[in-house]
Structure 1
Amino acid sequence: MRVTPHRVDLSIFVTDGKGWSQADGEEKEEITLGDVICSPA
Structure 2
Amino acid sequence: MAVEIINFLILIICVLVGVAFVTLLERKVLGYIQIRKG
TM-score by length of 2: 0.14
TM-score by length of 1: 0.14
Higher relative contact order (CA 8 A, sep 6+): 1
